[in-house]
Structure 1
């Protein structure tokens, strides 16, 4: 059994080495595409999906926040007053991305999470000292559409539509309790010194039955070498803004290891959220 597993792994990585390398393919691209290649931009920053490619990304994220904003009423404890509590969570996620055409990509992502919220000392509601929930977290899908390809003078334009499914109506701290939708758009332009992506979105929350301004982000991507790419990102939603630093180490043409950390720039953002995962790429058609 161990021998079979070893041979399977050797075959997978060996085939990746025998294929034309990502580095050699990148060298043939124009300067403005050398950081990112020709794929459709995915929701995983600094990652692009090519036609006929299946991306599989298992990853882990930790949330450390000493001043998470909450209202006891949101958890069913009556008091509609804002407090700041201590929040910790461990989350395991699985992401799939499929390049259907040169313009269209489909994504699905699901999570399991263990979360704890310690209430504020100033909170006089009937909320327990600690809320603890674990199990299925957010489950969502996205359609990604490229309107036009980047040229030497013109940027690339894309849109995306996100659906978050209400699969945890019995929970208050984890998962999603009602339908959530997001419609966004972005623009990408590559330069000799790196690639910039700007995106924004409108969001609809089924629980509140209203549309509002959603996420916004400015991303910088640079291919440092054949093996290493780095991403710097400022991302926010309303008054929650964070800075994310990301590294992608390409250990083979089909596999890269991702390490990143988000640091809250505003008081309502999570203080720190490190992430680690391994991205696999499979040609499926």
Structure 2
């Protein structure tokens, strides 16, 4: 009898996953089969429906062996660019709510501890190591769908992001002045996967200027009712990253996310893994 338990359990899991996939394929048109219905959030491959709440606590680590800094910006006089070693540990909480089937709001806050080891060629009076901890970025977004996706035409959406200036005295964590971002994106589902393209302009209050902001191309694929993955190329000016995102949908109201970001250009963070659980109700 015990010998039969494992095959039966595996068969049950397979049937459950297949049933989930069949149900989704039956209910939704093919172009929505990867992502389902909902408004695109700022989290890769994650969508929020009307009156739905998303709560996402997660941990993120940062490692950058060539972090660009100026001693002058750290308060130590010398106006020269150097590359130091930067590491950080961050705990983040993300909350989203779908107000309508076209409008959603997001809020995100974090606690972070970070260290910067200065370059050996840096002969300024800056300490060998700067360590800071406390409140990280605190930000929010409005997301709006202008036109929903059809079998022939892509979905068109916009987003407005603000970052609060809550760390005026910190140098390597948080945000010292207002930051704003306004962007637009397009989504189209195909039989081989779903593509999202977006771009934005941003305003940096510290530098008092508007500049070309982030841009990204995202590929999302639902392999089964249990597993989805995304591959993203994301950049901002001279920083470019390759990001992989895996989602394990363990229940109707939660999924595990494993995310890894790899720096492509020298000014991007070398490696930033992320792990968390997304709850949606």
Q: Normalization by structure 1: what TM-score?
A: 0.91
Residue 190 of structure 2 aligns with which residue? 191
Displacement after TM superposition at 1:124 (Å): 1.3
Per-residue CA deviations over 1:121-152 (Å, capped at 9, x if unaligned) read: 01111110001000100000000000000000
Comparing 105-114 and 168-177, the one that deviates more:
168-177
Q: Tell me which residue corresponds to 1:179.
A: 178
List aligned pairs for 1:1-285, cutoff 5 A: 24-282=23-281
- TM superposition shift of 1:260: 1.2
Note if contact 1:27-1:34 (Cα within 8 Å) is conserved in structure 2: no
Cα distance, 1:27 vs. partner? 3.4
Task: Please give the secondary structure, in 2, of the residue aligned with 1:138.
Answer: coil
Where do 4+ consecutive residues of structure 1 move more than 3 Å?
20-23
Query: 1:21 touches 1:253 (CA, 8 Å); kept in 2?
Result: no
1:90 deviates by 0.3
Give the drift of 1:26: 4.7
CA–CA separation in structure 2 for the residues paired with 1:73 and 1:201: 30
Q: Indicate the SS of the match to 1:27.
A: helix
Give the distance between the partners of 2:52 and 2:23, measured in 1 at CA. 18
Q: CA deviation at 1:217?
A: 0.3
How many residues get paired?
Answer: 264
Distance, in Å, in 2 between the alignment partners of 1:127 and 1:87 is 15
- Listed one character per residue, the Cα deviations across residues 129-176 of structure 1 (whole Å, up to 9, x for unaligned) are 001000100000000000000000000000000000001112111000
Give distance in 2, aligned partners of 1:192 and 1:85: 45
Is the contact made by 1:87 and 1:115 (CA closer than 8 Å) also made in structure 2? yes
Q: Normalization by structure 2: what TM-score?
A: 0.92
1:160-202, Cα deviation, whole Å (9 max, x unpaired): 0000000111211100000000000000000000000000000
Say if 2:157 and 2:184, in contact at 8 Å, map to a contact too: yes
Give the 3-state SS of the residue equivalent to 2:136 in structure 1.
strand
Question: Given that residues 22 and 253 in structure 1 are in contact (C-alpha distance below 8 angstroms), is that contact kept between their aligned partners in structure 2?
Answer: no
Counterpart for residue 4 of structure 1: none
Deviation string, structure 1 residues 219-260 (Cα, Å, up to 9, x no partner): 000000010000000000011100001100000010000001
For residue 35 of structure 1, give the secondary structure of its aligned residue in structure 2: coil
Measure how far apart 1:24 and its partner are.
2.4
For 2:31, what is the secondary structure of its paired residue? helix
Please list every run of 5 or more consecutive structure 1 residues that lacks an aligned counterpart in the other structure: 1-16
SS of the counterpart of 1:24?
helix
Q: 1:183 is paired with a residue of what secondary structure?
A: strand
Compute the displacement of 1:120 (Å). Answer: 0.2
What RMSD, in angstroms, separates the aligned Cα atoms of the two structures?
1.3
In the TM superposition, residue 74 of structure 1 has moved relative to its aligned partner by 1.3
Aligned partner of 2:6 in structure 1 is none
Given the superposition, is the C-alpha separation of residues 79 and 222 from structure 1 closer, same or farther in structure 2, using an over 3 Å criterion?
same
CA displacement at 1:25 relative to structure 2: 3.7
What is the alpha-carbon distance in structure 2 between the residues aligned to residue 81 and residue 22 of structure 1?
56
